[in-house]
Chain A
Amino acid sequence: MRELVEYLCRSLVEHPEQVTVTELEEEAGIVLEIRTASEDAGRVIGRQGRIIAAIRTLTRAAGQREGKRILVRLPE
C-alpha cells in the first residue's frame, strides 16, 4: 500500500525524488504519512482537497482486500 501512495504522489508532483511515504502502525490502523517538497504540497492536496480525497478513496479500495484500515496522512 505504501508503494501505491508513493507512486500516486510521485506522478503528481514536480519533485518526485523528494516524495517519501512512511508507514506507521498505530492503534487506529496503518498510517501512511506523505512528505513532499513544500512547493509540491498543493499538488498532492488539490483544489478543495480533491486530490488527497481521491488518494484516500483509492487507497481504501486497494486495502479492502487485505482487510486492513489504512489512513493517509499529510504533515501539518
Chain B
Amino acid sequence: MAGAARDVVATGRTVDEAVASGAGQLGIRPEDADIEVLEEGAKGWLGLGAQRARVRVARPSKGSAASRFIQQLATILGMEVDVDVQSPESEGEPWQVAVATEDAGRWIGHRGQTLEALRVLCDAAATRSSGSRDRLVLDVGGYRERREQMLRSMAILAAQRAIRLGREIVLEPMSPADRRVVHLAVQEVAGAESQSRGEEPGRRVVVRPLPTAEV
C-alpha cells in the first residue's frame, strides 16, 4: 500500500456517513478505520442550522489494527481486556502488543498453544486491515516474557555445559519462535554454537562447543 494516503478528512450528514465516505476514499472498511470526530454535526430544523459532521479517518497502523482485533474478540467472548501497544523502536523491529486480562490462562493454553494461535490470527487480520507487513509480537499476562527469560537461562546453561563436557547437548523439541530465542542466547556464550536439527514439530536445538574451544 505504498504511496496510499494514510488519512483524509471527510464530511457527511452524520458521523457514520462521514466515516463511510472517508473509508471509501482510503479504500478501507469503516470498521477498520481509526476515527477522530472533528465536528459532530447537527440535524437542524427544517433545513435551518444544519451542520455537516466532519471526521478524520485514517488507515490503522499495524498496532492499532491488532488492538482493535483483540478488543473485538474479547467483546464476543465476554471478556474484559486491557491492550497496550508499543510501536517499533526502529525499522524492522516488531510491534509489541501486550494484553492484560483476568482470564490469561485461557488465552495462553497448554505451552502457549492458544497464545500462538491468537498471534497468528491477530497478525493476519491486522496485516489485512492495516496493509502493513511489520512483525507483531503478542503477549498475554506476561507469559511470553517469562518464557523468554526461562529459555534464555536454559540455553546459556546448556552452552556452558557443552563447553565443560566438550560434547553436544540436545534440547527438547521447540517451536521456531522458541528456537530463535535459544540461538540468540547461545551466541552470547563465547566458545559455543547452536544448530537446529530434525523435522517439525520434533525439530530441536543442538548446542555444542566450538571446535577451537577444545584446544
Residues of A within 8 A of B (CB): 3-4, 7-8, 11-14, 16, 43, 46, 50-51, 53-55, 57-58, 61-62, 64-65
Contact = CB atoms under 8 A, between A and B. Distances in A.
In the complex, the 8 A-B pairs of residues with the closest C-beta atoms, listed nearest first: A57-B117, A54-B117, A11-B125, A54-B120, A61-B114, A58-B117, A54-B121, A4-B76
**Which residue, of A11, A51, A57, A58, has the highest number of chain B Cβ atoms within 10 A?**
A11
A58 B76 contact: no
A16 B113 CA distance: 27
A3 B120 contact: no
Interface string B193-213: 000000000000000000000
Contact of A61 (B109, B120, B124, B129): B109
B187 interface: no
B29 A8 contact: no
10 contacts: A3-B76, A4-B73, A7-B73, A8-B73, A11-B72, A11-B121, A12-B128, A51-B124, A61-B106, A61-B109
A51 B122 CA distance: 10
B117 A12 contact: no
B121 A8 contact: yes
Contacts of A14: 128
B128 A11 contact: yes
Contacts of A3: 76
Of the four ranges (under 10, 10 to 19, 20 to 34, 35 or more), the interface on chain B belongs to: 20 to 34
Contact of A57 (B69, B114, B125): B114
A58 B125 CA distance: 14
A58 B118 contact: yes
**Which residue, of B29, B106, B118, B124, has the highest number of chain A Cβ atoms within 10 A?**
B124
A65 B78 CA distance: 12
B46 to A, nearest CB: 37
B73 A50 contact: no
Given A11-B125, A11-B128, A51-B124, A57 B76 contact: no
Contacts of B107: 61
A55 B114 CA distance: 10
B20 to A, nearest CB: 15
Contacts of B76: 3-4, 7
